[in-house]
Amino acid sequence: MPNFHGSYLPTITPFTAGNEVDVAGIHANVDWWINEGTHGLIPGGSAGEFLQLSDDEYRLMVAETVEAAAGRVPVIVGITSDSTADALSKAQFAEEVGADGTMLAPPYYSQVDASELEAHFRDVAQGSALPMMVYNNPFTTGVELTPQFLAELGKSEDNVKYVKDTSYNVQRVIEINDLSGGEIKVFAGLLGYESIVVGAVGWVSIPGLVVPALSAALAEAALSGDLQRAAKLHAAVFPLMKIEEDTGKFVQIPKAALNLMNRAAGSPRAPRRDLAGAELTRLREILAQVQATQGTLVGTS
């Protein structure tokens, strides 16, 4: 079982001016993120607009991300689907192209009961040899995966050893570690600094898409126990976290920021729209502030 830890990025899917998947942009972004110290990549998640991609586009994006990473960092592929068969097909494709793991959230529309939910995760886990990161995101899916559920799933399925927990409750990190005997490792979806302090092994960082060096340094400092440095890095990246929290625009914010930085992003696909007006003005100000602070803290800009 690989040792996933640190700052993992839920990669955006860049689009060309013609609204096609920007393959060159994928490679350019992946190179930059890795060179800035990013510890791992997660294509095919919410920030990657997986629901707005055709099957062919999804497979292209995943394959190109794995190819661009070239084994330098782990690639965990988002395989979430409301269909168990589709999620399993995505897991098997991820394995075929050489990914290092998969990430699966609950069905988000079917309103499954507890036994159906358990079977969904077990069927997909058993259909692929790749390690699976279970994704708890009750804000989006409407399904709360309890620490007890996660611990039991980890005990029954050898390749389920990670969870991305997107909640504002860091107590869950302690509960998951306790109930699983430390067998289920937690990545924070929110509150990366606070979660690592109480036992998480990393965070899935949307701000890291824009300031990857800051995000990686924060994770490294917190994991090493240098909490004073970690707190400074957390304070530096917090304005980006705050605008994402205030707006809920976890696709539009990083894409707009990357566009402002002349990096590959393009527009989000409908129904989302480009960031504009007061929100874009606020982002410009935050980006300038964060980039200046980053240069001081990690020696990059």
Residues serving a catalytic function are: 135, 164
By CB atoms closer than 10 A (0-12, 13-18, 19+), residue 299 is exposed
In this structure, what is the dihedral angle of CA atoms 262, 72, 203, 198, given to the nearest 10 degrees? Answer: -150
Strands annotated E in 66-158? 76-78, 101-104, 132-136
Cis peptide before 271 (omega within 30 of 0): yes
Give the whole-angstrom CA distance, residue 196 versus residue 30.
25
Give the whole-angstrom CA distance, residue 275 versus residue 81.
27
Cα end-to-end distance, the chain, whole Å: 35
Cα dist from 81 to 91, 105, 200, 215, 266, whole Å: 11, 8, 26, 28, 25
Which one-letter DSSP state was computed for residue 258?
A: H
Type of residue numbered 294: Q
Residues linked to residue 78 through DSSP beta bridges, in sequence order: 103
| DSSP annotation string for 153-220 | HHHH-TTEEEEEE-SS-THHHHHHHHHTTT-SEEEESS-HHHHHHTT--EEE-SGGGT-HHHHHHHHH
Tell whether 251 is in a known binding site: no
Which residues carry a binding-site annotation? 204
Q: Where is the binding site for pyruvate, in residues?
A: 204
